[in-house]
Amino acid sequence: MLKIYNTLAREKQVFVPIQPGQVNMYVCGMTVYDFCHLGHARVMVVFDLVARWLRASGYALNYVRNITDIDDKIIRRAQENGETIRQLTDRFIAAMNQDATALGVLRPDAEPRATDYVAQMLDMIGTLETNGYAYVAESHDVCYSVRKFDGYGKLSGKSLEDLRAGERVDVMAGKHDPLDFVLWKHARDDEPAEVKWPSPWGPGRPGWHIECSAMGSELLGRHFDIHGGGQDLQFPHHENEIAQSEGAMDANEQCQFVNYWMHNGFVRVDDEKMSKSLGNFFTIREVLKKFDPEVVRFFILRAHYRSPLNYSDVHLDDARHALTRLYTALKGVAGEVEVDWSEPHAQRFKAALDDDFGTPEAMAVLFDLATLVNRGDAALAGQLKALGGVLGLLQRDAQGFLQAAPEGGLSNAEIEARVDARGTAKKARNFAESDRIRDELKAAGIVLEDGPQGTTWRRA
């Protein structure tokens, strides 16, 4: 029985889909004006795991992850680069997909771009105006009147009295209340024509919050099962989504936008939240120059999705060693293997993931299996590989992973040449030379393993 920690309820709850056997899930994606960083990697990998487990549990899943391709930062970056918005966003969408693929992230069922859903956003803003939640400010922007929505703060646990203008809030002259937020931004003269859409309130473009309400409602319905994203989106973005989406409902409609809200924890560097403002963020591409993509995925999944994830090269090195241990137990296992869910380790694994996607406990099962395989129970190696596959891990040829060359390390050809030279020295009974080559390779992080079939090697 799957349980999910629901941010809205502040507790783990048994997951009951709106339609039996069917799950609709929306996850807030990336704003595409630059390369994705490790915080984005965590969102992609975490909800890829959620999607994989829902499907492995027998649900028919419709997974939507949006792309924000219109935003102040996007406009500014395109102007700085002397290119169109579309050229900029197309380039970084392609880069995002390359990074996601490298990390073993499966593509969502739909990846809507905000600019393709402006009509739906305008319809929702018009409904909010009709329902008394939206008004035109002195600046000609259309704003949402937060105090008119009785449930504002129910996701974040913040009361209106506790909220302060300036905390993730756009302070703008002419708003009825500092907490009110923009639904439609009136066009400025210095903005390019490609970001000016016609509307009943004059030319302009949508605010950030309205896009997810409109796309989620259009693609998954006004009431769906799961909405996810990073912890930093809980307030104000997701709080505002609830206010918009439920404010736009008719009086006779179900008055709850989403049943289960999920938020993954921050990525931290030296115990500080990773952010561009602090200058302590790393792009996925920078990290993948130093570490195998599967190591990065393993590093992300080894921590529970709601806990902070502390990044450092030391922690990535530790993850590499741990993943190497698992792959070492898989030498000789070839082809696809299916999970035997009746086997005790698989039952423990399932119980772990059914408990709010408990990947640390699921990983512990994998290491228990690896220990048994290394002690001689080779029959469990297939189960290890199959369960790893549920997490998007351990599906490569084991020897290929163990011999994968890091940047700046000895190439496979160089290692093979030294192994051959050592073999020649042993045949000539030149054991001093043989030992010297072994020690040289050991110092370079190469482990030699002599057996009846000859010498094999792996990277430590």
Contact 220, 62 (CB under 8 A): yes
Residue 15 in tokens: 């997951």
Cis peptide before 200 (omega within 30 of 0): no
Q: Convert 325-341 to b/e letters by CB count within 10 Å (16 or more is b).
A: ebbbbbbebeeebebee
User: Mean pLDDT across the stretch 195-212?
Assistant: 96
* 166 — pLDDT class (breaks 50, 70, 90): very low
Q: Write the CB contacts of 255 (distance below 8 Å, at least 6 apart in sequence).
A: 246, 249
- CA distances from residue 132 to 146, 196, 205, 224, 255 in whole angstroms, order as listed: 11, 25, 21, 24, 16
Q: Are strands 134-136 and 142-144 parallel, antiparallel or unpaired?
A: antiparallel
pLDDT score of 164: 58
pLDDT score of 171: 55
Residue 100 has pLDDT above 90, yes or no: yes
Predicted model pTM: 0.90
Q: How far apart are CA 196 and CA 356, in angstroms?
A: 43
User: Mean pLDDT across the stretch 178-196?
Assistant: 93
SS3 205: strand
